[in-house]
Amino acid sequence: MKIALVGNPNTGKSTLFNLLTGLNQKIGNFPGITVDKKVGFCRLESGRKAEVIDLPGTYSLYPKSKDESIVFQVLADPNNSSYPDVVVLVADATNLRRNLLLCTQVADLGIPMLLVLNMSDLAQKVGIEIDVNKLSERLGIQVVEMSARSNMGLEKLKTAIDNTSKICTQNSSVDATLFAPEAISGVKEIIKNENSYYALQVLHQHEYLTFFTPAQQEAIEHVEQSNGFVSSKIQGEETLARYRYLSTVLSNVIKDTGASRKFKVTDRLDSILTHKVWGLGIFLAILFLIFNAIFAWSSYPMDMIEGAFTWVTEVGHSKLPAGMLTDLLLDGVVAGLGGIVIFVPQIAILFAFISILEDTGYMARVTFMMDKMMRKVGLSGKSVVPMIGGLACAVPSIMAARNIESWKDRIITIMVTPLVSCSARLPVYILIISLIIPEENVFGVFNKQGLALMAMYLFGMLAAVLVAWVMKFIIKAKERSYFIMELPVYRMPRWKNVLYTVYEKSKTFIFEAGKVIIAISIVLWVMASFGPGDRFERIEQKYKPALNNPNQDQDHLQILISSEKLENSYVGILGHWIEPAIRPLGYDWKIGIALITSFAAREAFVGTMATIYSVDGGDEDTKTIRERMLVSVNSKTGLPVYTFATGISLMLFYAFAMQCMSTVAVVYRETKSWKWPLIQLGYMTALAYVASLVAYQLLS
C-alpha cells in the first residue's frame, strides 16, 4: 500500500513522516528530477505494510518552484512509481482555512484521501476548537486529530488509513467546467480522462508533465490556444470559488474560545528576536555560544578518542608481526580513520544546535530578519535558508535554492553558498586552531579558541555577502524577486528528533567522509612508502655505518631515515613539485600534499596529515598527530612549520577554496551547464590564494 503525505510547508508533515517510519526510511531523487524523494515504510494497525512517500510542501497545486511541481506530477500520473493508493493531507489545525485550499484541490483529483489535523494540541492551547465530526461529514472524508510532535494520535491515524476506502468518498468542492468548459472538454478527449478538474490542471501545467506523448502535448497546446485559455485569470477565479466553498464548510466548525487573546508569547518574543538591532545581536551571541561549546564541551570525548586510537596503534605495532601489511593497516587506515573519528564530538554538537534552532522556530526568524540585509547585496530572504544550511553541507543547500523563484537570485545563491563554512571545514579549523591558538580564556569567560572558530565562520559569511554584491552587478535579469514566508510559532524542541538528527549526521560524516579518507589514506601510504629507482636503498646505505655504531641514538637515526625516505617517496616528490607555488603562502611540501587530496573532500586534510606524520615517524614522547605537527620543523629553514601566520593563511585557504568534488557536481546538475561550476571553481581558488598570500605576508 502506498501512502503520499501532502501538505503546506510548516504543517509538521516531515515530523509525521519520521513518526510513521522511524529509522526505516531512505532518500533518493524522483526519476529524472533533482528533487529529494523521501520514502519510508511502516506497519499499519491491521498488520499491513505501507510505503510512505513524503511529497514536497506546497500551498496549492499551482507550482511556484520545481519542488512544488512534483506534487501534481506524482498525483496526476497513475504510472508514476510514487502514485499513491491513499493521500494523507496534513493540515495545521491552527490555520485550517488556508490549509484546506490544497485539501479541496487534491480531493477533486479523485484519489482516496483523509485529512490529518496536526498540531491539534497547540490549536486548543491558543483557543481554537474544531468540530471534527461536522468537518468530516462536510468534506466526505475521515478527519484525524493528532500532534506528531507529541506522538499523539498515531494509532488513530494508522487505523484511519486502514479504513480508507479505495473508492473516493470526498465531496466535490467546485465545478471545474464553469471556468473553461470548451477547453476542458477538448482535453478530456485527448487524455482519455473524464475528471474535469484533472483536465483543468493539465491545461495549466501540461508543459511540465513528462508522461504525455509529444502528439498529446501538441494537441493540448492547440486546445489551449484555440479557446483563449488564460491560466493566471482562471487560477484566480478558481481560488476565489474554493474559498467561498470553504466558508460554508467551516461555518460553525471552528470556535474561538478566547484563549488566543491571552496567548501572546510568540508576539512578545518576536518583538525582541527579530528587532533590527537586538535581533542581530542575539543571533551573534547564539553563534558565539555554539562555537564556544564546540571547543569547551568536546575536549574530554576528543581526548578519549585520540587516546584510544593512539593505544590501538601502539598495541598493534607491539602485537602484530612487523611488515608492510601491519604498517599499511596501522599507519595508513587506522591513522587516517582516527583523524576523522576524533572530530565526531564537534560535528555532533554543531548539528545538535542547528537542529534545536530549526525545531524551535528560531531559524525561520533569522531568515526573516536577514531579508532586508540580503536585498541590499542582490539576494532575497530565501537565499538565507540555503546559506544557513551551508553550515552543515553545501550540497543539499545548493539543491534547496530551487525554491527561489528568481533566476538571478538563485544563481547568485548557488555561486556563494560554498563560501559558508560547512561541517567538512570544521575538523580543519579545529586542528589548526589547536596548533596556533592557546587554550585560554579572555576576561575569564570567552574561550580564545572558540572566538577564533567563530571568526572563521563569520569570514565565510562576509565573503559570501561581498561576492553576492559583486555578482549583483555582473549577472543581469529583468525579473524582480519576492520573499513570502510563514513564521511558525515557538515550540520546545523535540529531543528525540534532535538526537536522531545528530545520529544521522554523525553517521553520514563518518561513513561518507570515512570512505574517502580511507581510500586516500591507503593511496597516500603506498605513495609515501615507496619511491622511484633506488632512492630508498641509497638512504639506507648512507645511514648504515651510523646504525652499526652502538654509541649513536638509534631512535633518532630511525626518525631521520623515515623523514628522508618520505621526502624521496612518490608523495614527497609530488609535494616538492608544487611547493614553489605554495611557499609564498607559508606552506611546506607536506601541506601541499594535503591541499591536493583535499580536492576530493575538504576533511581529507586531517586524514592526510595523520597518514603523512605516521609514516614520517615521530619522537617517542609525541605520539599524537597534533603533537607531531606542533613540533614539526621546515627541513630547509629549520623553523616551525605551523606558526601563527601559516595557520591563519591555511585556514583562510580552506575557508574560501572550492575543495569538494560533490559541490562541483551538484552545481553542474542544478544549473545544467559546466559554465557556472567552472566559474565558481576559478573565482574561489583565486580568492583563497590571494587571501592566504596577503594574510601570511602581513602576519609573518
Q: Which of 91-100, 539-548, 689-698 has the highest mean pLDDT?
A: 689-698
pLDDT digits (tens, 9 = 90+) for 342-354: 768 877 887 788 7
- 524 neighbors 605 (Cβ within 8 angstroms): no
Average pLDDT of 258-271?
Answer: 65
pLDDT digits (tens, 9 = 90+) for 212-228: 888 888 998 888 888 88
Split at pLDDT 50, 70, 90, the class of 691 is very high
pLDDT surpasses 70 at 83: yes
- CA geometry: angle 427, 361, 143, nearest 5 deg: 125
Q: What is the reported pLDDT for 362?
A: 85
One-letter identity of residue 84: P
Q: What is the reported pLDDT for 34?
A: 43
pLDDT surpasses 90 at 650: yes
Q: What is the reported pLDDT for 405?
A: 67
Q: What is the reported pLDDT for 4?
A: 93
Average pLDDT of 117-133?
Answer: 86
Comparing CA positions, the residue from 233, 137, 222 lying closest to residue 186 is 222
Largest CA distance in the chain: 104
pLDDT surpasses 60 at 206: yes
553 is written with which cell numbers?
Answer: 641514538
Q: E-assigned strands of 44-135?
A: 49-54, 86-92, 113-118, 128-130
Q: What is the reported pLDDT for 604?
A: 72
% of the chain residues with pLDDT over 90: 15
Split at pLDDT 50, 70, 90, the class of 2 is very high
Choose the weakest-confidence range: 77-91, 272-286, 502-516. Answer: 502-516
pLDDT digits (tens, 9 = 90+) for 554-586: 776 776 777 778 778 888 888 888 889 998 998
Q: What is the reported pLDDT for 632?
A: 79
pLDDT digits (tens, 9 = 90+) for 320-349: 888 888 888 887 778 777 767 876 887 788
- 142 neighbors 117 (Cβ within 8 angstroms): no
Q: What is the reported pLDDT for 654?
A: 92
Burial pattern 246-276, b for ≥16 Cβ within 10 A else e, equals beebbeebbeeeeeeeeeeebeeebeebbee
Q: What is the reported pLDDT for 258?
A: 58
Q: What is the reported pLDDT for 5?
A: 93
pLDDT surpasses 50 at 30: no
The pTM for the full model equals 0.60
- Tell me if residue 326 falls in helix, strand or coil: helix
Q: What is the reported pLDDT for 29?
A: 44
Q: What is the reported pLDDT for 484?
A: 64
Mean pLDDT of the residues in the chain:
81
Average pLDDT of 665-686?
Answer: 86
Task: Give counts: helices (H), strands (E), the chain.
Answer: 33, 11
